[in-house]
């Protein structure tokens, strides 16, 4: 079952932690988390070690090549979600509409397509989590998760009892980044930086770009190509007027 999958315009550790927090608020805190060695996962690792304890595998790092289910998931994510958008971006670039070295172009691409990508992701999650699984008595992944929680409700497993006892505790209220907390053993050379796009647009100008994007979407611009060009034209006008 997919508990969270979301696109972002950056890969900061705090961004990943915020997404993880939203999952914990819905499903409660898992017993263990497995992630790759990317530095964007370090705050989730720190939090899991703090809440679930050291030396018990609270946060496991490493490649997922031996996990067929997660490999299957990533294959489908790349094929169903990412490939169509990649083709759009390549089309825009080859048409001379998108310059990947231009900060304004990147800002407009992020503004328009983060919404479309996350909409596609949400549809994908629904299609993944809700259909019946023939090898599991036609239960859906969502139903299997609920069934598992009920089956192990008297097992004494902390992650299960937190769910069945409805202990909706805000674990993040006392969590912060400090020098004293346990830090996972991670190398800094695993970091991949996704830089922020830099523009001098005002808050009101950015709001007007959002409104323009939404207006174009309502006309049926499902691939975002027209919305991107409209947003880019307005953003360029704002920046040229202020320069």
Residues 88-116 have a mean pLDDT of: 96
Which of 18, 43, 21, 45 shows the shortest CA–CA distance to 34?
A: 45
Provide the pLDDT for residue 177.
Answer: 45
Provide the pLDDT for residue 178.
Answer: 45
- Prediction pTM value: 0.81
Which range among 47-56, 66-75, 145-154, 155-164 has the greatest average pLDDT? 47-56
Supply the mean pLDDT for the chain. Answer: 85
Which range among 38-42, 72-76, 95-99, 171-175 has the greatest average pLDDT? 95-99
Provide the pLDDT for residue 86.
Answer: 97
Provide the pLDDT for residue 106.
Answer: 95
Using alpha carbons, list the distances in angstroms from residue 79 to 75, 82, 121, 130, 170: 6, 6, 12, 20, 36
What is the rounded distance in angstroms from the CA atom of residue 169 to the CA atom of residue 190? 33
Please say whether the beta carbons of 63 and 74 come within 8 A: no
Task: State yes or no: pLDDT of 72 exceeds 80.
Answer: yes
Task: Identify the band that residue 46 occupies on the pLDDT scale cut at 50, 70 and 90.
Answer: very high
């Amino acid at each position: 079952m997919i508990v969270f999958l979301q696109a972002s315009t950056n890969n900061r550790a705090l961004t990943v932690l915020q997404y993880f927090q939203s999952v914990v608020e819905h499903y409660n805190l898992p017993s263990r988390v497995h992630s790759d060695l990317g530095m964007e996962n370090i705050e989730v690792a720190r939090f899991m070690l703090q809440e679930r304890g050291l030396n018990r595998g609270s946060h496991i790092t490493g490649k997922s090549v031996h996990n067929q289910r997660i490999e299957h998931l990533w294959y489908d994510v790349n094929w169903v979600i990412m490939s169509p958008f990649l083709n759009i971006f390549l089309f825009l670039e080859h048409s001379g509409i998108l310059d990947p070295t231009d900060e304004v172009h990147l800002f407009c691409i992020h503004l328009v397509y983060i919404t479309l990508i996350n909409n596609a992701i949400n549809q994908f999650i629904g299609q993944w989590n809700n259909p019946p699984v023939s090898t599991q008595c036609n239960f859906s992944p969502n139903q299997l998760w609920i069934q598992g929680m009920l089956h192990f409700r008297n097992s004494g497993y902390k992650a299960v009892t937190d769910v069945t006892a409805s202990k909706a505790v805000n674990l993040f209220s006392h969590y912060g980044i400090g020098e004293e907390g346990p830090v996972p053993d991670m190398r800094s050379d695993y970091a991949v930086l996704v830089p922020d796009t830099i523009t001098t647009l005002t808050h009101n100008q950015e709001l007007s770009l959002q409104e323009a994007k939404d207006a174009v979407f309502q006309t049926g611009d499902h691939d975002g190509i027209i919305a991107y060009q409209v947003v880019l034209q307005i953003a360029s006008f704002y920046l040229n007027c202020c320069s």
